[in-house]
Homo-oligomer: A and B are copies of this chain.
Amino acid sequence: MLTLEVDLGERRYPIHVGADLLGRPDLLAGVLGGPQVLVVTNDTVGPLYLDRLRPALGNRKVEVMSIPDGEAHKTFDTWYGLLDRLVERRFSRDCTVVALGGGVVGDIAGFAAASYQRGVTFVQIPTTLLAQVDSSVGGKTAINHPLGKNLIGAFHQPACVIADIATLDTLGERELAAGFAEVVKYGAVCDRDFFDWLEANADAILARDRDALARTVHWSCAIKARVVAADEREAGERALLNFGHTFGHAIEAGLGFGTWLHGEAVAAGMCIAADLCVRTGLASAEEAQRLRALLARARLPTSAPARLGPERMRELMALDKKVRAGRIRLVLMRGLGSGLVSDDYDQGALDATLHECRDAA
């Protein structure tokens, strides 16, 4: 087992990474508050892993709430349902909310934990690669509003994260690859050594070798933790973690959300961003090619769909939160392993990139 401390002063917490950690009471011993525990899971993950988790909770009074799977259920109603349960069962301020599932479960359970009695103890047990490398770190919790994703929420740090690599055994191929895209992102804009290591170990990772996966999750979390600790409220450096996301969101929105997985869109978005970096002299053609090749090994898309041409992409990108004074701010790669945020790039280069980085029609 590998353990990493996310250093946020008073709110510091450990991330434990390894196989078969779910049922270990020692990891939760000092973390759970009073005797009341609400486990939030979904209809897919619950049946697979709830029984494995139970021994870790000892003889506490465990309440389980299973929510429907999928982003469409990350709503006000689902969140309110969790709060109703906590109130009806008279959970007190020293209770614990445990999220057992992917990003949706973590986001919604986290926001319930953040807002019940102004904040109770929260434990994350992410069961997808994406959730393990992304939502484990940073304390972001949220629900969607009909007019936009993640518009309502809170920063609420967990007391502990348990990333049990064994839960990835049951993850679908596409979901594994989508998580891998976010992993590659950390290498591309934050850590060249990690990128090199991913190139050398991609086969093992994608074959779900447990040691390789544990190392991947640990290294990714370490990078994100370093960035977040320096910028908890997302004022500066943390923006780098949006590499590929402005183009990616445009693709997701252009195709209709849910057509591509978020990680798939981010993969294509990173390749588009890398192409722009080559055109503007920030990265070499060889570096962009290495990025594309690594993502392609996970069968991830490396360009936008043919029908999303430059004009449509620009339209879609203009809706992004990062637009200031009409200029689209982009995260760019300054060679492999380092990034910057800029709205001062050549507009002609962007057009050329948007024109070229599409599938053949």
Contact check: which of B117, B119, B150, B152 meets A151 at CB < 8 Å?
A: B117
The reply to whether the CB of A80 lies closer than 8 angstroms to some CB of chain B is yes
Q: Name, among A87, A119, A152, A154, the residue most crowded by chain B CB atoms within 10 Å (CB to CB).
A: A152
Interface membership of chain A positions 171-209, coded 1 if the CB is closer than 8 angstroms to chain B and 0 otherwise: 000000000000000000000000000000000000000
Q: Once bound together, how far apart are the Cα atoms of A119 and B154, in whole Å?
A: 7
CB distance from A38 to the nearest CB of B (A): 14
Contact check: which of B92, B115, B233 meets A153 at CB < 8 Å?
A: B115
Q: Is the CB of A83 within 8 A of B321?
A: no
Within 8 A of B (CB), among A79-129: 80, 83-84, 87-88, 92-93, 114-119
Q: Once bound together, how far apart are the Cα atoms of A140 and B88, in whole Å?
A: 23
The reply to whether the CB of A155 lies closer than 8 angstroms to some CB of chain B is yes
**Chain A interface SS verdict (over half):** mixed
How many copies the complex holds: the figure is 2
Q: Once bound together, how far apart are the Cα atoms of A83 and B75, in whole Å?
A: 13
Q: Is the CB of B114 within 8 A of A154?
A: yes
**5 contacting pairs across A/B (C-beta < 8 A):** A83-B152, A92-B321, A115-B115, A118-B150, A119-B154
Contact check: which of B116, B118, B153 meets A118 at CB < 8 Å?
A: B153
Q: Is the CB of A155 within 8 A of B118?
A: yes
Please indicate the chain B residues that have their CB under 8 angstroms from the CB of A141 in the complex.
118
Q: Is the CB of A148 within 8 A of B87?
A: yes
CB distance from A84 to the nearest CB of B (A): 8
Q: Name, among A118, A150, A151, the residue most crowded by chain B CB atoms within 10 Å (CB to CB).
A: A118
Q: Is the CB of A155 within 8 A of B119?
A: yes
Contact check: which of B87, B118, B152, B153 meets A145 at CB < 8 Å?
A: B87
CB distance from A230 to the nearest CB of B (A): 14
Please indicate the chain B residues that have their CB under 8 angstroms from the CB of A233 in the complex.
119
Q: Is the CB of B154 within 8 A of A142?
A: no
The reply to whether the CB of A257 lies closer than 8 angstroms to some CB of chain B is no
Q: Is the CB of B87 within 8 A of A76?
A: no
Contact check: which of B93, B140, B145, B152 meets A321 at CB < 8 Å?
A: B93
CB distance from A162 to the nearest CB of B (A): 24
Q: Is the CB of B151 within 8 A of A116?
A: yes
The reply to whether the CB of A147 lies closer than 8 angstroms to some CB of chain B is yes
Q: Once bound together, how far apart are the Cα atoms of A119 and B153, in whole Å?
A: 8
Q: Once bound together, how far apart are the Cα atoms of A197 and B84, in whole Å?
A: 46
Please indicate the chain B residues that have their CB under 8 angstroms from the CB of A150 in the complex.
118
Q: Once bound together, how far apart are the Cα atoms of A151 and B92, in whole Å?
A: 10
Besides A83-B151, A116-B152, A119-B155, 17 new A-B residue pairs in contact (Cβ under 8 A), listed by A number: A83-B145, A87-B147, A87-B148, A87-B151, A88-B147, A92-B321, A114-B154, A115-B115, A115-B152, A115-B153, A116-B151, A117-B151, A117-B152, A117-B153, A118-B150, A118-B154, A118-B155
Q: Once bound together, how far apart are the Cα atoms of A295 and B293, in whole Å?
A: 78
